[in-house]
Amino acid sequence: MKFDLIIAALLGIFLFHGFCSSEKAPNYSFMRQATTAPEISHYDYIIIGGGTAGCPLAATLSQKYHVLLLERGGSPYGNPNITYLSTFGSALSDLSPKSPSQRFISEDGVINARARVLGGGSCLNAGFYSRAGPKYVSSVGWDGKLVNESYVWVENKVAFQPPVRQWQSAVRDGLVESGVVPYNGFTYDHINGTKIGGTIFDAAGRRHTAADLLEYANPSGITLLLHATVHKIMFKTRGLSRPKAHGVIFRDALGKKHKAYLRRGEMNEVIVSSGALGSPQMLMLSGVGPSEHLKAHNITVVLDQPNVGQRMMDNPMNAIFVPSPVPVEVSLIQVVGITRFGSYIEAASGENFSGYRSSQSDYGMFSPKIGQLSTVPPKQRTPEALEKAINSMNALDAAAFRGGFILEKIMGPISTGHLELRTRNPNDNPSITFNYFKEPEDLQRCVNGLKVIENIIESKSFSQFRYDSISLPALLNLTASAPVNLLPKHDNISVSLEQFCKDTVMTIWHYHGGCQVGNVVDQDYKVIGVDNLRVIDGSTFNYSPGTNPQATVMMLGRYMGVRIVNERLAKEESNH
């Protein structure tokens, strides 16, 4: 009997795809501004966050149930800063209140960004698409077959093979020459050695984000509200042995308050998919977190959960800028060297990344505005100072910006930090500490990664893209002289790779943690100690998957959506 129920459930999940009419991005009939929402509404599922996990999750659940997807930002469609590879960096350097990127600076002094747009971080990132390895999948207890099916479901909409040109080819060959072998060609899989990974930029250089996965949604089963900022999750506690989530309070762009409730039904849920910063922040704002911290902010404690906001992690990135005597193509991350010692080597090049003007006022990573390798220190970025810096950069020869970065990111990491509320306003950034290189093994992996980068720069394969007259120590000092973060600098940093790692640490935007499996949520991503509440996103990771987490975050949204639907179908079948 049980086997029959499972077959029936699986048939359900495969069959209903064929019967639902889908819509093409960006013309979603179900996408509208939160100002149009009724004061009170009811749904089977309420998902907080239309990001990298929230979009595939909502699309999947909408096939059988009524879903409300709440996104605090706007639509990515029609924004050229998001859409085109050639404008990468522009969204990150946009500090306006309407920007899809919200700047934050960790307590470590590292400049960072979080997404504020439908599609989440997939709208801001460098586009690299690579799966988690089989060991990772098995270590977290996922079903390997459903994981693979879920990756394919994602890839059919958003993943592509990149065109690998001269500069990226030189890095690839330099990696192999440096001993990062074997060469595995183009693959989405996570395998030791050197490979070409996927990208979410198509052949025309157009970005495809997690928002495109809403093409899979059943239009009659989903309501998507933009500029809908959730202020708290509502819980029932009276007469119950444990708190039970039953709705959310959100505000629209005009500040008007709305309430969305779960319909009657024991399996209906609120699901938080607000990312590694947003999800622990949302739980705390709703009264689930460390009780003393919540009381200090006058938040009523629903559940004392000291692990919320703990074990925050960010994979440190360290890069070496290599000026090129010859022009290089514009490229984001395409090649990766997956070393056996726990460091990933990647590269990006060309005018938009290393900086020469894609517009008269934007220099990509060297932009006076952006922070990463900025020419103007953060506290001095007045309009006058920015204008002066831009004018002086306009006067420079294009060759000054020609070249690219070879970077390394350490796997894991092992070092952890924590997140705390600053205010009770959900639009404000919380306070985050990552404690980069606190654990010696993380620092050693960085040093080992930099040694591989040095070997690539000195390799025969890469020789046409470097100046013989610029020594490796000079390249290190050149990179270290740029204000990549707010940390104090040391002179002649090239004598110590350990010091170079510490002084030039940047983010690669792969932060995770704060709501981890085993600490805050169980293996089914249900929040421990309360009912009808899950967290499904990168905040649940104990370790960053693969070389870039976005493929796995999108996969997780689909994977958990399928699991939730299958469980419900099986339960509903058994009740009949």
CA distance 519 to 310: 9
Q: Is 230 annotated as a binding residue?
A: yes
Q: Is 13 exposed, middle or buried (0-12, 13-18, 19+ CB in 10 A)?
A: middle
Strand order of the sheet with strand 417-420? Answer: 310-312, 417-420, 431-433
Q: Which two tokens stand for residue 333?
A: 């991350």
Among the listed residues 227, 246, 510, 512, the single catalytic one is 510
Short-list 496, 490, 444, CA closest to 473: 496
Look up tokens 């690539």; give the residue. Answer: 456
Q: Is 549 annotated as a binding residue?
A: yes
**Is 510 a residue of the active site?**
yes
With left for phi above 0 and alpha for psi between -120 and 50, is residue 3 left, alpha or beta?
alpha
Whether 407 contacts 384, CB under 8 Å: no
Question: Taking the CA of residue 520 as centre, how many other CA atoms within 13 Å lie in the half-sphere pointing to its CB?
Answer: 32
Q: Is 509 annotated as a binding residue?
A: yes
Q: Is 452 annotated as a binding residue?
A: no
Query: Do β-strands 303-304 and 128-129 pair in parallel, antiparallel, or remain unpaired?
Result: unpaired
Look up tokens 């395998």; give the residue. Answer: 191
Q: Is 553 annotated as a binding residue?
A: no
Q: Is 239 annotated as a binding residue?
A: no
Taking residue 542's Cβ as centre, other Cβ atoms within 10 Å add up to: 16
Q: Is 117 annotated as a binding residue?
A: yes
CA distance 438 to 440: 6
Show Cβ contacts of residue 358 under 8 Å, excluding neighbours closer than 6 positions: 86, 87, 90, 351, 352, 364
Q: Which two tokens stand for residue 116?
A: 């504020």
CA distance 432 to 102: 14
CA distance 273 to 77: 21
Name the residues annotated as catalytic. Answer: 510
Give the annotated binding-site residues for FAD.
117, 230, 509-510, 538, 549-550
Please enumerate, by residue number, every residue annotated as part of a binding site: 117, 230, 509-510, 538, 549-550
